[in-house]
Chains A and B, each alone.
Chain A
Amino acid sequence: MHGSRTTGSPYAPHTEAETSAMLAELGVESVEALFDIPEPVRFDDSFGIDARSERETRRLLESILDRNDDLTELLGRGHYSYYVPSLVDHLSDRSEFLTSYTQYQPEVSQGFLQVLFEYQSILVELTGLEIANCSMYDAASALGEAATLADRLRQVSGTTVLVPDILQSGKRSTLENYVDGTALSVESYPTADATVDVDALTDRLDEDVVMVYAENPTVRGTIDPNLGSIGDVTTDADALFVLGSDPIALSLLERPADVGADVVIGDASVLGLPTSYGMGLGLFATREEFLRQVPGRLVGVSEDDDDRRAFTLTLQTREQHIRRERATSNICTNQAWVALRTAIHAAMLGPGGMVDLAKRDVRRARELAERIDELDGVSAPVHDRHHLREFVAQVDRSANTVARELEDHGFAIHVVDDREIQLCVSGATDDELDDFVAAFEEVVR
């Protein structure tokens, strides 16, 4: 049986003798007798899926995934990859972490609970806000949850959620699905040079606005110099100020609490996950005064019968399994294991490593922009701002053509519009960026 095709579940350990003994104990002749399914809805066909050995299954997956082109990705726009140290893989793959479930029995789950508590603590330090939950699906769903939080907090006074006009389309669409069941609607406010146009935003603000969303850095990689002003005008309008960011950016850029942010959302998987086709980890931090309205799980501290400090899921009366339709969110399964990976990666970097990584990507984005700006037919960066990780460049040739030809040279880039492209440095090594500049020089000529 080992190594060859099997005709049953390879993970059901029953021998025939055991199965017979169990059936005898139950007083039935076959397992089929245990299925209480009326004849008309029984399925007696097959799915047409053949079983494979483990080796054949791996071969199948390898042959399928080998079809992906091996490109150096200069892609970002809301999803960033950094090198994930091997120790993160090896520790997070310890099977106790990987194969446990939600920590409903804290006495046997202290390890995972402590990691999640440490994850929450890291986000509290990075944001300056008092509380962080221990994960949402991704930045887009966390933004949706922020909007429903705003709805619960300020539902009498308004119905409009304002987002920047350059918001990544997946985030915008997800947000619209989240608010469709509420009285809220989503509208855009203008940006100038890919950061918030504070005057235009101020003009737009009125009592109907319950929430203003801004990002730092933005989807174009620009660092917003006006966060404090946004916080002020948003607070004056009695709207919630929700700021989008990520752990690496937060380690260097202005502290959200210092600019008046009420909620910080974003994707924390910049630490801990490879590109993963966009799989993420939604971070969600907010002020203590909103504690009872926060969506998602929270890990807190208590004591056990030996008077030792111990961790447990807490404030579960907000959650769907207890509060049902009055819950603060429908989230149940979240991204706990990704949060664990993020926490380990952050711990490996330490504060110095995280700040260095952010500084490195400020420097490398600037240097790459300067290098390609020297080429004929290229102007970079388009936006007169400081950048982190990525920037937009203008090209004289068709942006689509440039992108396709770069693919032939082994590079993937974003196309913004007919004459604009976007480049992100986080996933590439310095050598790869050198190779890119050489290829780019050929392509834009």
Chain B
Amino acid sequence: MSENPTDQIEESTSNERRFDQARWTTNGTYEPLLSEKNRTDIEIDAEAAGLPDELTRDSLSLPSLAESELARHYTRLSQHTYGITSGPYPLGSCTMKYNPPYTEDVAALPGASVHPDRDEGTVQGTLELLYRLQDYLGRIGGMDAVTLQPPAGAAGEFVGIRVATAYHEHNGDGNRDEVIIPESAHGTNFATAALGGYDVVSLPSDDAGRVDLEALEAALSEKTAALMLTNPNTLGLFERDIEQIAEMVHDVGGLLYYDGANLNALLGRARPGDMGFDVMHYNVHKTFATPHGGGGPGAGPVGVVEELAPFLPAPRVRPVDDDESTADVRGDDLATSSTGATYELFDPEYTIGKVHGFQGNWLVLVKAFAYIARLGDEGLADASAKAVLNANYLGSRIDYEIPYGPFHHEFVASAGDQDAADVAKRMLDYGVHPPTTKWPEIVPQALMTEPTEVESKETLDQLAAAFDAVAREADETLEGSPNRTTARRIDQTSAARNPRLSWHALTETED
């Protein structure tokens, strides 16, 4: 074998396309900063604006470049960025699906952009779309009422927790100060419960990777405000005892919260509402293929059972008259046009108020609606089917051990004696975005893998080949990777030890 680790890929997967990410360099750096191309200082002439001097700043210093140069700068930077259109992206729990571009086009329709303070009579299109999306999500989750306001999944969790607080307080039951969360849950669950003022009770898993019912029994009490759970859980396992779990939580007067991060595994096969969940959030950017945008925006609509509907954020949308035209929406049909019904905003009776200055991430909601309307029942159910098929197929093809199963849309493999973070870096050399690493901690050196429904058998075979090639590689090869990416291994420790968070900080360092 060659000493150059990049050549080894050529040998191990000689029949496959070699991956090389773009690498633009100038004077020893990757693409220079805008500020290194130009810094222009502007003195502020307050008088020219008709303002007294003391109301304005003295100067402003920012880059000033020609449009053509900016086009090249950002194009090069996009080439330094790996997205789902670059290649497979099996990042566990993040549900990185292909994003069909028509959703961008409908979100850019002229009618889609209106000011949030418009009189409701003049934005009937916006309200109709919001209402129909509420309705779609209610049906998909088995929930009685939905708010679209939360601008992300964690914001949806926050609404769920605030609704739980308001509900308990309304019932004269405001002394509940604990939220129970499985130790394998998403970190947002813990942070959200703490933000809501609750003490977190961490729940261990049983030997099979599911909720330990005895531990749950011990954790539940009259102090329990809610149990936060995702199903399938983060190991991809369905919590088979969910009915019993719901009963146990409800018996002590607590609420059962569903974290919708893994809903893609269940579409058309099970619904949180039917399992006994009282409140849930939907990650529309995961389940319904709205682009993740490098970390957002997303949207985290929240669905609740009827008893909790009066506490939802304000305002919500409803038809003015529940007449035949809106009944069409509930029954849906092959309609390719508006219902023509009239919609209005209203404040739920005991609303918690608002969690966003206006109505949330509207453009994301448009994309989610378009995606659901395109797929319909069969498409949504098929998405789940193929997501589960793909995860199981990929899981069966890799050499790494998968300690827990049977799993649904994702699995957590163990890198064993290898360091999962190094495995991830090496996978980048194969043109594959690696799995989520080292989480959940139940699995040592975890590789949490979620291929989603959009990968073909051929791609899954390539993915499996990448996993297996890395599994056979020596530690020094892994530690010396990646080599075919824009940047080579980045020293994250020194970035934290010596934080330089703006180009101003860089200039100061250089001085």
**Would you give 13 A-B contacts (Cβ < 8 Å), ordered by A?**
A12-B453, A32-B385, A38-B240, A42-B270, A96-B79, A98-B99, A109-B81, A139-B357, A301-B501, A308-B25, A330-B194, A337-B294, A355-B60
B192 to chain A, nearest CB (A): 4
Bound Cα distance A18, B40 (Å): 58
Count of interface residues, chain B, beta-carbon cutoff 8 Å: 211
Take A11-B289, A334-B152 as given contacts and tell me if A96 and B425 are in contact as well, using a CB distance cutoff of 8 Å. no
Stretch at the interface among A56-64, A207-215, A232-240: A56-64
Q: Is the CB of B56 within 8 A of A254?
A: yes
Bound Cα distance A43, B505 (Å): 56
B365 to chain A, nearest CB (A): 9
A-side contacts of B364, CB under 8 Å: 279
Bound Cα distance A70, B112 (Å): 11
Bound Cα distance A306, B489 (Å): 8
Q: Is the CB of A50 within 8 A of B332?
A: yes
Count of interface residues, chain A, beta-carbon cutoff 8 Å: 190
- Contact partner of A9 (CB less than 8 A), chosen from B108, B298, B375, is B375
- Contact partner of B501 (CB less than 8 A), chosen from A105, A120, A135, A267, is A120
Q: Is the CB of A332 within 8 A of B151?
A: no
A205 at the A/B interface (Cβ < 8 Å)? no
Bound Cα distance A97, B439 (Å): 26
User: Closest 8 A-B residue pairs measured CB to CB?
Assistant: A278-B358, A337-B293, A181-B197, A278-B116, A51-B376, A65-B111, A111-B80, A140-B357
A residues 18-72 in Cβ contact with B at 8 Å: 18-19, 21-23, 25-26, 31-32, 34-38, 40-43, 46-54, 56-71
A-side contacts of B58, CB under 8 Å: 255
- Contact partner of A330 (CB less than 8 A), chosen from B42, B154, B363, is B154
Q: Is the CB of A331 within 8 A of B60?
A: no
- Contact partner of A52 (CB less than 8 A), chosen from B56, B162, B336, is B336
Stretch at the interface among A155-163, A342-350, A430-438: A342-350
- Contact partner of B354 (CB less than 8 A), chosen from A177, A298, A303, A351, is A177
B472 at the A/B interface (Cβ < 8 Å)? no
B295 at the A/B interface (Cβ < 8 Å)? yes
Bound Cα distance A389, B140 (Å): 43
- Contact partner of A97 (CB less than 8 A), chosen from B238, B293, B360, B382, is B293
B-side contacts of A104, CB under 8 Å: 91, 436
Q: Is the CB of B83 within 8 A of A100?
A: yes
B502 to chain A, nearest CB (A): 4
B176 at the A/B interface (Cβ < 8 Å)? no
Apart from the given pairs A68-B126, A275-B115, 5 other A-B contacts in the complex at a CB distance below 8 Å: A38-B243, A62-B106, A67-B338, A108-B21, A275-B116
- Contact partner of A49 (CB less than 8 A), chosen from B187, B238, B356, B372, is B372
Q: Is the CB of B294 within 8 A of A305?
A: no
B373 at the A/B interface (Cβ < 8 Å)? yes
Q: Is the CB of B139 within 8 A of A108?
A: no
- Contact partner of B293 (CB less than 8 A), chosen from A98, A111, A321, A350, is A98
Q: Is the CB of A99 within 8 A of B291?
A: yes
A-side contacts of B151, CB under 8 Å: 137-138, 141, 279, 335
A409 to chain B, nearest CB (A): 12
Q: Is the CB of A336 within 8 A of B295?
A: yes
Q: Is the CB of A69 within 8 A of B374?
A: no
Q: Is the CB of B490 within 8 A of A321?
A: no
Q: Is the CB of A48 within 8 A of B116?
A: no
B-side contacts of A43, CB under 8 Å: 142, 268-271, 274
A-side contacts of B124, CB under 8 Å: 67-68
Q: Is the CB of A7 within 8 A of B378?
A: yes
- Contact partner of B358 (CB less than 8 A), chosen from A6, A98, A138, A223, is A138
A-side contacts of B492, CB under 8 Å: 106, 302, 312, 314
Take A140-B354, A305-B488, A315-B496 as given contacts and tell me if A338 and B297 are in contact as well, using a CB distance cutoff of 8 Å. yes
Q: Is the CB of B294 within 8 A of A100?
A: yes
B319 at the A/B interface (Cβ < 8 Å)? no
A380 at the A/B interface (Cβ < 8 Å)? no
B-side contacts of A347, CB under 8 Å: 34, 63, 65, 70, 73
Take A48-B377, A68-B125, A330-B191 as given contacts and tell me if A314 and B499 are in contact as well, using a CB distance cutoff of 8 Å. yes
Q: Is the CB of A96 within 8 A of B78?
A: yes
Q: Is the CB of A300 within 8 A of B496?
A: yes
B-side contacts of A304, CB under 8 Å: 487-491
